[in-house]
Structure 1
Amino acid sequence: MTDIEFMDRAEQLLLAVEQGCDRINEETDADLDSQRTGGMVTISFRNRSQIVINLQKPLHEVWMAAQSGGYHYRFDGARWMDTKGDGEFFAALSRDASRQAGQELRFTA
């Protein structure tokens, strides 16, 4: 993957996260606050916990930090997959966001 391809895919991922937060706020009372700064999105929850998603351009990875830990994802040609085999990005984001919000939340690509 070239740097340009990585940035295109990674920007699509960050946009999907932002749009997911907007959709969740419209459909639920989760009251997520998402802030974008360059290649980083911070999602804040009512309980003041956060999930931080940021781009690691030199490594062509997307990193996610949540209460459950830190995760690294690489695009496999179809999906963003955990580099240690722990699954797909949006499934993990949904899982961790649900835990931190105290209600089921779904993010999709």
Structure 2
Amino acid sequence: MTDPEFMSLAESLLRALELSCDRINDESDADVDNQRVGSMVTLTFANRSQIIVNLQKPLHEVWMAAKSGGYHYKWSGTEWLDTKGQGEFFAALSANASQQAGMTLVFKPV
């Protein structure tokens, strides 16, 4: 994968994450603040816990840091998969965000 291909796919992931936050806040009682600075998005929940998603351009990876730990994702050709076999990015983000928010939250690719 070339650097421009990675950046296009990774930017799509970050946009989908931001749009999911907007949808979640509009459709539920969840209070998920999302703040983007460059290639990093910080999600902050009502209890002040956070999930941080950032791009690791040299490695062509997307990293997620949550209360449950740190995760690295690479593009498989169809989806972002954990480098240690822990599953797909949006499923993991949904599970971690739900745990930290104390309610079911669903993040989806666009």
Normalising to structure 2: TM-score of the pair?
Answer: 0.99
Q: Which consecutive residues of structure 1, in runs of 5 or more, have no partner in the other structure? A: none
CA offsets 1:8-67 (integer angstroms, 9 cap, x no match) = 000000000000000000000111000000000000000000000000000000000000
Aligned to 1:35: 35
Aligned to 2:102: 102
CA distance in 2, matches of 1:27, 1:101: 15
Aligned to 1:66: 66
1:70 deviates by 0.1
Aligned to 1:16: 16
Aligned to 1:5: 5
SS of residue in 1 equivalent to 2:53: strand
1:99 deviates by 0.2
Normalising to structure 1: TM-score of the pair?
Answer: 1.00
CA distance in 1, matches of 2:52, 2:15: 14
SS of residue in 1 equivalent to 2:55: strand
SS of residue in 1 equivalent to 2:30: coil
1:4 deviates by 0.2
SS of residue in 1 equivalent to 2:8: helix
Q: Which contiguous aligned blocks of 4+ residues in structure 1 show a shift greater than 3 angstroms?
A: none
CA distance in 1, matches of 2:22, 2:4: 27
Aligned to 2:46: 46
1:84 deviates by 0.2
How many pairs were matched up?
A: 109
Q: CA RMSD in A?
A: 0.3
1:108 deviates by 0.5
CA distance in 2, matches of 1:20, 1:41: 12
1:90 deviates by 0.1
CA distance in 2, matches of 1:82, 1:64: 10
1:103 deviates by 0.3
